[in-house]
Structure 1
């Protein structure tokens, strides 16, 4: 049964008691009114008529004696007037006896009989007076008239006594009715008060006490305690519906807070992993930067060596020309050429070692760049996981806000917490988005670096091939110079071959110089890209630290709840 029906039943019972009491009181008032009306309209009128009869009887006796003393027309008329008034009063009194008892009607009948006897005596007196027989008239006055007058007077007194008796009875009945009405009124008031007290007790037991339980549980949840037991309310009323809705809200809030705590822990762990990955990538970037600096230095050295080699080949070409011009200085020139060839061969050997070193460093740099690409992909995957977690956290915060809104006033504290959780989730999502953007930039830069490194590796491989060819050429030159003394006759042909070889060596050395310059430029570009990548990874590390802080704040907010 609903609370409204319970309250309606209580109010209807109170209303029924009040209506019944008012009905009984109204009936008693009606009885009292009837008795008062009977007293005023009937009893008092009969008393007044009885008084009029006594007055008219006295006046009638007075004028009858006045007529005996002085037989005048005026006395006759006055006697007749009061005689008629007495007859009218008796007639009126007879009309008022229709609802009276037999005793009162008997008194009125006796009064009427005596009045008729008195009227007969008056007629006899008047007849005797008309006959001038005063003695007979006096006899009628002293006998028949006097007896009738005394009878009328006694009858009127009996009527007065009867009316007094009836007035006392009415008075007692009226007092009894008033007493009954008062008792009924006080009884109705007492019953109404008792029923009202019972209604208040029932309302307290069925409404106030369950509501206090709901309020106490709401206060506990507002303080963050979600471990309280569910409300128990067996009645199928509005309080029961409220208790069920409250239990559902508590369970949903418990589930949401638990999920938020788990997600915040995952976000914190992911942020720590991201921070560790960024630190590792920073270390790798620093190592790559160091290697690229070394590569650039070696490329510059190779460029200097190539320049020296080109200069040496130019001098060799000049020597060959001088040999062609003057055979006298051939031996000296050949010795110088041998020395120069030996120095060139040593430079070529040095350049070969340096190019081998550049090739190894470039290959190492390519491997590091590939590792950097893989780590950037892992960061993108971690960032996606963080974005999914923040989206789920935002959805859970939205669900918490909806559940708090359904709770009304008791859910305001949860709405504030849910809003803070939602803001933290949005900030986490923004940070994760920034990380994703930076990761994409890193991946793009890494791809460019990888391409540049591959191009540099190809150039280095070509430089190694050219250096090898130059080494072979310098070996041939050195052999030719050694054979120059024994093969003086072949000086011209040898000079031409040396000149051609020198030109080839010069071209090769120029290509080596250009390759070394390109390798240095590529190394500088790679170093700049790695430095930019290092700065980007530092930003990623700062964002991961900020994400960890936000996750810690989220954990502190959810730690306010006991789950």
Structure 2
């Protein structure tokens, strides 16, 4: 039910109830007033009638011969008396002998006077038995009357009859009914006027409510382009209109702000997703580069280990060469002493020459082996140099990828820089080793040439042993030369031993550095994998955020701003 209809019905109900209540109250009040007035009039009429009887008929009331007398006048059927009093008062008038009407203006239904009828029991009990005056409504010959009954007493004070005046209640009922009809007519007119007024009031009340309802429905449908309400009124409807205007404005601003925020969130989530994808790709590349670095470091450790073992073998060979050179030097000194002793020692010299030939062959073999080992060490050094260059290149690539990663790759850049430094140190150490190996190779070449000369001399000495006497001088000279050369070889061998020890220590440092590089690379690789997992989680979160922002924009798109 609409509010306008409710207001009209409410006004109508109030007016109807008010009119009915007023009519009922007015009817009751008027009836009560009429009854009171009629009783006062009847009281006065009783007195007036009694005075008229006293003036017209003197004497006391008495019953004689079964008849009612006033003085000497018989009252039974004395109609002119009651008619005169009725005419004077406008009432019904009756004189009772005891409880029976003997003179009356009251008529029966057939139009004849109700002489001989009796009074009601209630009236008889009050008036005849108690001797009291009865005032009120009474039934008089089947008709309601506002009546007044007064006892008629004889000279002895005995009640011998009743003096009655009364007015039919139908007169009062018609007056009350007529008044109530006027009240109802007034009520109906008031109801019609009230309905019209209620309609106007309802329209006055409902019009702004209808406008507010329309705006509320449009806002509920998402249309925020509504025109502001007229808020010039100073009552609650004006306050409601201002509140609705403020609500729509605040809601429009809120939706606009949420829409802008949703667009920013969508844009930021897309940018974040793109950034995380790039970061993930960079991290994967960094991980691959670090894995290459770790693999190269492992290879470097293995190569350094091989180089250490080779250098250790070289050192042992050089020590053997030195020992052999010392032995050869001692043998050469013995040979010189034997040569100086003369020809007697020729046979011993031949034996010594044979021994020298064997020693020289052994020395030549050792020197050649030293040359071979030196070449192997050179190859190892080349391998180490290549590994160092490869490590340096990998470190450079890792640094480049770390710089691409920005702030997230700073840790990788530090590790790559340390790896690069280690590679440079390895390259420098390998260069030093290469220089040492080159020196060893040069000395070994000289030793080989010297040993070739010694072998030739031994052969010449063996061939010329028969001419020992003549060749002692040459043999002695040759022995001295051999002794000098062997001393040089011994010194070179000792120097090579010291250098090989340095190379061994350097290779050990390279192994330590390579192991540290491998461990650091593994740590960096593990960290890269963890970071890659975190970046993937961030990417998933950014995609979820983008979807939520898209859904928010779809929901906000339902509003018209």
Distance 1:58 1:160 in 2: 22
Distance 1:164 1:286 in 2: 129
Distance 1:524 1:157 in 2: 145
Displacement after TM superposition at 1:301 (Å)? 2.1
Once the two structures are superposed, the pairs formed by residues 116-265 of structure 1 within 5 Å of their partners are 158-164=84-90, 178=176, 181-182=179-180, 184-232=182-230, 234-265=232-263
Is residue 358 of structure 1 aligned with residue 321 of structure 2?
no
Would you say the 8 A contact 2:57–2:71 is kept in 1? Answer: no
Aligned equivalent of 1:508: 506
Distance 2:72 2:371 in 1: 191
Q: Judging changes above 3 Å, is the alpha-carbon distance between structure 1 residues 272 and 175 closer, same or farther for their aligned structure 2 residues?
A: closer
Displacement after TM superposition at 1:339 (Å)? 2.6
Would you say the 8 A contact 2:23–2:184 is kept in 1? Answer: no
Aligned equivalent of 1:407: none
Aligned equivalent of 2:44: 42
Aligned equivalent of 2:125: none
Q: Judging changes above 3 Å, is the alpha-carbon distance between structure 1 residues 452 and 83 closer, same or farther for their aligned structure 2 residues?
A: closer
Distance 2:59 2:48 in 1: 16
Once the two structures are superposed, the pairs formed by residues 67-146 of structure 1 within 5 Å of their partners are none
Aligned equivalent of 2:268: 270
Moved more, 223-232 or 495-504: 223-232
- Runs of 5+ consecutive residues of structure 1 not aligned to the other structure: 1-5, 64-74, 90-151, 377-445
Would you say the 8 A contact 1:295–1:523 is kept in 2? Answer: yes
Distance 1:282 1:213 in 2: 58
Would you say the 8 A contact 2:286–2:401 is kept in 1? Answer: yes
Is residue 320 of structure 1 aligned with residue 318 of structure 2?
yes
Would you say the 8 A contact 2:301–2:511 is kept in 1? Answer: yes
**TM-score after normalising by structure 2:** 0.62
Q: Judging changes above 3 Å, is the alpha-carbon distance between structure 1 residues 157 and 285 closer, same or farther for their aligned structure 2 residues?
A: closer
Deviation by residue 1:312-368 (Cα, 9 ceiling, x = unmatched): 222222222222233512333223322322232232123212202211211331343
Deviation by residue 1:416-465 (Cα, 9 ceiling, x = unmatched): xxxxxxxxxxxxxxxxxxxxxxxxxxxxxx66545444433332232222
Structure label with greater radius of gyration: 2
Distance 1:166 1:281 in 2: 124
Distance 1:261 1:85 in 2: 120
Once the two structures are superposed, the pairs formed by residues 395-474 of structure 1 within 5 Å of their partners are 449-474=412-437
Q: Judging changes above 3 Å, is the alpha-carbon distance between structure 1 residues 332 and 39 closer, same or farther for their aligned structure 2 residues?
A: same
Q: Tell me which of 373, 388, 392 is aligned to 1:340.
A: 373
Is residue 310 of structure 1 aligned with residue 294 of structure 2?
no
Would you say the 8 A contact 2:319–2:493 is kept in 1? Answer: yes
Deviation by residue 1:142-182 (Cα, 9 ceiling, x = unmatched): xxxxxxxxxx99788655544449999x9999689547624
Moved more, 23-32 or 333-342: 23-32
Displacement after TM superposition at 1:186 (Å)? 2.7
Which structure shows the higher strand fraction?
A: 2
Q: Tell me which of 297, 319, 331 is aligned to 2:364.
A: 331
Would you say the 8 A contact 1:320–1:495 is kept in 2? Answer: yes
Distance 1:520 1:59 in 2: 157
Deviation by residue 1:254-294 (Cα, 9 ceiling, x = unmatched): 11111111111111111111111111111111111111122
Q: Tell me which of 478, 481, 487 is aligned to 2:441.
A: 478
Higher relative contact order (CA 8 A, sep 6+): 1
Q: Judging changes above 3 Å, is the alpha-carbon distance between structure 1 residues 354 and 48 closer, same or farther for their aligned structure 2 residues?
A: same
Distance 1:559 1:519 in 2: 58
Aligned equivalent of 2:405: 372
Deviation by residue 1:348-389 (Cα, 9 ceiling, x = unmatched): 123212202211211331343344352x4xxxxxxxxxxxxx
Which structure shows the higher helix fraction?
A: 1
Please report the RMSD computed on the Cα atoms of aligned residues, expressed in angstroms: 4.3
Displacement after TM superposition at 1:479 (Å)? 1.9
Would you say the 8 A contact 1:18–1:188 is kept in 2? Answer: no
Q: Judging changes above 3 Å, is the alpha-carbon distance between structure 1 residues 207 and 85 closer, same or farther for their aligned structure 2 residues?
A: farther
SS in 1 for 2:514: helix
Distance 1:36 1:235 in 2: 58
Q: Judging changes above 3 Å, is the alpha-carbon distance between structure 1 residues 236 and 313 closer, same or farther for their aligned structure 2 residues?
A: same
Q: Judging changes above 3 Å, is the alpha-carbon distance between structure 1 residues 268 and 561 closer, same or farther for their aligned structure 2 residues?
A: same
Displacement after TM superposition at 1:494 (Å)? 0.9
Displacement after TM superposition at 1:231 (Å)? 2.7
SS in 2 for 1:224: coil
Distance 1:165 1:320 in 2: 175
